């Protein structure tokens, strides 16, 4: 299977640079896997697709302000993008990495110091002279590179789901950005159960696949946890004949990893591409994804490549808004 088969051309003006003022006012493209149909709705219509006894699974990770800016003693600008904790240090993408020598100290905007150390799996290790909570007070929201603008004060709320509660993500689980507290209450009032997983989405979600041979790609790792009450809810709904609705590829990967590996916590490196047999989820709420990305491969595995590419063709033709701050897709 070749990665080039999952490419498409997107006009740059369709990449959403800002979210809508009202989360649930975005457009919703509905794909029906059974009859292969595609229809256009508004996100607020989504509650009509649920029945009493169904289960909605959401990722409750919370995005941390993982981008830190500072200066070298020479005055040169430095950016640190935190990837994860590796006690007692943090791994980070460092720019400009090649110019910073091991042991060099950078003064951050807060006045704290970051010491740049050796290389890790992806970036460089850094050590701070103050507690990380204090360091993050001067951090910036880690908007994805395709948004191509500095973060603004409103992003601290806009790039966060309304149910986010577990700090640790360095990229938002963006399929959940469309939900409001009112939408969730409306679903609960219909008898739909809500359950949560935690998967700390990281920078790897934007990392390009570097080989055209899809099967050779090594998936990045992300910490996940499925609490026992969610496992109980999934088991009960399945036995009662209800449907499992996953919000985002992160919730889907968490549930399917548990079904495949029997593990409910740890590093999730499950790579889902066409040919994968889903065991848990019945429907998927997602966004429109980058071409040739692991996310594009996952939705193609779930809905079928032909249906996905026809949906994307129509979305471009009908001027849908793409990517993190864009419109929504619902695969049933």
Q: What is the DSSP letter of 217?
A: P
Phi then psi for residue 5, to 5 deg, are -70, -15
Q: Is there a single domain that holds both residue 91 and residue 108? A: yes
Domain membership of residue 118 as a residue range: 67-136
Residue 26 and residue 51 in one domain: yes
- My answer on whether 100 and 166 are in the same domain is no
Mean pLDDT in residue range 275-283:
98
Clarify whether residues 125 and 252 are in a common domain.
no
Q: Are residues 85 and 11 in the same domain?
A: no
Structural domains of the chain, count: 2
Judge whether residue 66 has pLDDT over 70: yes
**Claim to verify: residue 77 and residue 37 sit in the same structural domain:** no
Residue 98 falls inside a structural domain: yes
Residue 149 located in a structural domain: no
Cα separation, 62 vs 141, whole angstroms? 11
Average pLDDT over every residue of 232-250: 97
| Average pLDDT over all residues of the chain | 95
pLDDT of residue 97: 83
pLDDT interval class at 207 (50, 70, 90) = confident
Q: Are residues 53 and 103 in the same domain?
A: no
Are residues 52 and 81 located together in one domain of the fold?
A: no
Let me know if residue 142 belongs to a domain. no
- Partners of residue 61 on adjacent β-strands: 166
Q: What pTM, to 2 d.p., does this model score?
A: 0.95
Distance CA 210, CA 212 (A): 7
Does pLDDT of 85 surpass 80? no
Residues 6+ apart with CB under 8 A from 118: 102, 124, 125
Mean per-residue pLDDT for 128-140? 92
Q: Give CA 303 to chain center in angstroms.
A: 19
pLDDT of residue 245: 98
CATH assignment at residue 117: 2.40.10.240
Residues 85 and 43 in one domain: no
Asked if pLDDT for residue 87 goes beyond 70, the answer is no
78 and 46 in a single domain? The answer is no
Cα 81 from chain centre: 16
Note the pLDDT of residue 89: 87
Examine residue 143 and state whether it is found in any structural domain, yes or no: no
Q: Are residues 25 and 162 in the same domain?
A: yes
Does 282 have pLDDT greater than 70?
yes
Report, as an integer, the average pLDDT of 170-192: 97
146 found inside a domain: no
Q: What is the mean pLDDT of residues 201-227?
A: 91
At residue 99, the pLDDT reads 85
């Amino acid at each position: 299977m070749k990665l080039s088969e999952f490419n498409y051309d997107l006009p740059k003006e369709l990449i959403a640079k800002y979210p809508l003022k009202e989360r649930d006012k975005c457009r919703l493209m509905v794909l029906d896997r059974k009859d292969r149909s595609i229809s256009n709705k508004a996100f607020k219509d989504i509650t009509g697709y649920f029945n009493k006894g169904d289960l909605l699974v959401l990722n409750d990770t919370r995005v941390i302000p993982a981008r830190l800016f500072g200066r070298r003693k020479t005055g040169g600008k430095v950016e640190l993008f935190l990837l994860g904790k590796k006690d007692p240090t943090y791994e980070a993408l460092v720019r400009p990495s090649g110019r910073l020598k091991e042991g060099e100290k950078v003064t951050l905007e807060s006045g704290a110091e970051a010491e740049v150390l050796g290389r890790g799996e992806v970036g460089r290790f850094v050590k701070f002279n103050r507690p990380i909570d204090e360091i993050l007070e001067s951090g910036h929201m880690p908007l994805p590179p395709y948004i191509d603008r500095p973060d603004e004060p409103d992003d601290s709320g806009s790039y966060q789901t309304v149910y986010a509660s577990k700090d640790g993500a360095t990229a938002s689980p963006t399929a959940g950005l469309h939900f409001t507290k009112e939408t969730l209450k409306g679903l609960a009032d219909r008898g739909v159960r809500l359950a949560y997983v935690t998967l700390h989405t990281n920078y790897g979600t934007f990392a390009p696949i570097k080989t055209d041979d899809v099967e050779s790609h090594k998936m990045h790792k992300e910490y996940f946890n499925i609490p026992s009450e969610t496992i109980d809810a999934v088991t009960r709904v399945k036995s009662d004949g209800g449907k499992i609705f996953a919000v985002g590829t992160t919730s889907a990967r968490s549930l399917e990893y548990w079904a495949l590996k029997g593990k409910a916590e740890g590093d999730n490196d499950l790579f889902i591409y066409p040919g994968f047999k889903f065991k848990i989820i019945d429907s998927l709420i997602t966004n429109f994804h980058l071409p040739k990305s692991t996310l594009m491969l996952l939705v193609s595995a779930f809905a079928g490549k032909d249906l996905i590419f026809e949906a994307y063709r129509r979305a471009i033709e009908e001027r849908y808004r793409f990517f993190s701050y864009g419109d929504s897709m619902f695969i049933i």
